[in-house]
Amino acid sequence: MNESLELAQQALDAANEAKFIANNMWILVATVLVFIMHLGFAALEAGFVQKKNVVNILFKNIMIVCIGLLTYYLIGFNLMYPGTNEGGFFAFSGFGLTLPEGGLTSGYADYTYWTDFIFQAMFAATCCTIVSGAVAERVKLVPFLIFCSLFVTISYPITGFWKWGSGWLDARGFYDFAGSTIVHSVGGWGALAAIILLGPRKGKFSAKGIHPIPGHSMPLATLGVFLLWFGWFGFNGGSVLSADPGLVSKVFVTTSLAAAAGAIGAFILSLIMFKTYDLSMVLNGVLGGLVGITASADGVSVPAAIMIGFIAGVLIPVSVTAFDKMKLDDPVGATSVHLVCGIWGTLAVAIFGDYGDGVGTLMSQLIGIAAIGAFTFTLAFLVFFILKKTVGIRVDIEEETIGLDIREHQLSAYN
């Protein structure tokens, strides 16, 4: 009996190890997928700007990823997941990464400490990339990189802690599965603050009305959207935080169908509104659908996911038009996609989701949206305002006319 008990225990340990290997692997695969979203953003934004500002946007986007990873390593991770002050507003457990006592897997049921960090770090960097598109074609490079560093080091982790780090919003029943609010609308609020302070691109708005400035490469923009969708399988699928077969596969289905429905919604409404088959609306419709389903991809029915995506898609032409009317110039539609659809997705949790007692109620969702929005917008506005009053945030008119590539980088995107 001793022998068989021992063998059984050995078998159970081996089985648990196998589960751990598989679960950990899935989060690592998801990390790789989220990483490539940075290329998706870079391509999308580069495609949607003018030829003369392409090097600049590529430069910004690659620098943001690198800065984001390093600062999240230095400060952000321990600010967002300090492991203390449950239900609180703020905590910080020290600079850099230090293995938890007990080692690499201590306190982690399904993956290692390193896996946790690198998956979260990839998320963090996306936040600034969202801002980068909105401020394109007129922002000064270094002030923007300073803004990003502060945003990803301080702002994003603090509000992230409120929910995902077990802070006060988590205690209040706020629900946001993979970050419609915590990632996307946070990026959107940052973008909104920035474009208010920055002002529109020269020539976009005149007494005669709105003058669209078409992007320089639709293949690049389309490539970006496909890559973002591709990466979103990791963004949402990885947010299950294990390879749980039922949940991850469910998330794949809701995410995909919401994205598809987003395209259809944007297609139909933009056809009605603009009488044309508008590629950029459909592309943003896909992204809107993805942002919309992100808060509830694990907990809504498939028809609900389609509805959420469709409404998000419909919101795209509406909000793009609305921002234009407010003379808020956003070259890539980042505020429409990430802020508007991010808010919509967070509300959709309350409408379509079913997360149990007091979780994801309309009230808890509204509190979460408002609190994170107010904090993020205020902080971003303040930082950008100080930068504006000190080093300046906008290139001069001559540089804007010539293009940022030649002046800041002494290089054309195409030769």
7-46 binders of a second copy (CB under 8 A): 7-12, 14-26, 28-29, 31-33, 35-36, 38-39, 42-43, 46
In this structure, are residues 49 and 61 in contact, taking their beta carbons and an 8 Å threshold?
A: no
Query: Tokens 């949206």 appear where?
Result: 369
In 275-361, where does DSSP find H-type helix? 279-293, 302-325, 334, 341-352
Q: Which of 80, 146, 287, 306 binds a second copy (CB under 8 A)?
A: 306
- What beta strand segments (E) does 337-392 contain? none
Taking the complex as a whole, how short is the minimal distance between the CB of residue 260 and a second copy, in angstroms?
A: 4
Q: Which of 75, 158, 248, 348 binds a second copy (CB under 8 A)?
A: 248
Q: Does 311 bind a second copy (CB under 8 A)?
A: no
Q: Which of 91, 131, 150, 225 binds a second copy (CB under 8 A)?
A: 225
Binding region for a second copy (CB under 8 A) out of 182-190, 201-209, 359-367, 407-415? 407-415
Query: Tokens 């998000």 appear where?
Result: 312
Q: Does 391 bind a second copy (CB under 8 A)?
A: no
Q: Does 128 bind a second copy (CB under 8 A)?
A: no
Q: Which of 78, 129, 180, 256 binds a second copy (CB under 8 A)?
A: 256
Q: Which is nearer to a second copy, 134 or 264 (CB)?
A: 264
Q: Which is nearer to a second copy, 148 or 372 (CB)?
A: 148
Enclosing H/E stretch for 209 = strand 209-210
Pairwise CA distance, residues 151 & 323, whole Å: 23
Binding region for a second copy (CB under 8 A) out of 86-94, 169-177, 195-203, 238-246? 238-246
Q: Which of 102, 206, 207, 246 binds a second copy (CB under 8 A)?
A: 246
Q: Which of residues 65-84 bind a second copy (CB under 8 A)?
A: 65-67, 69-70, 73
Pairwise CA distance, residues 70 & 67, whole Å: 5
In this structure, are residues 273 and 212 in contact, taking their beta carbons and an 8 Å threshold?
A: no
Q: Does 297 bind a second copy (CB under 8 A)?
A: no
Q: What is the DSSP string of 138-155?
A: TB-HHHHHHHHHHIIIII
Phi then psi dihedrals of residue 133, to 5 deg:
-65, -40
In this structure, are residues 355 and 175 in contact, taking their beta carbons and an 8 Å threshold?
A: yes
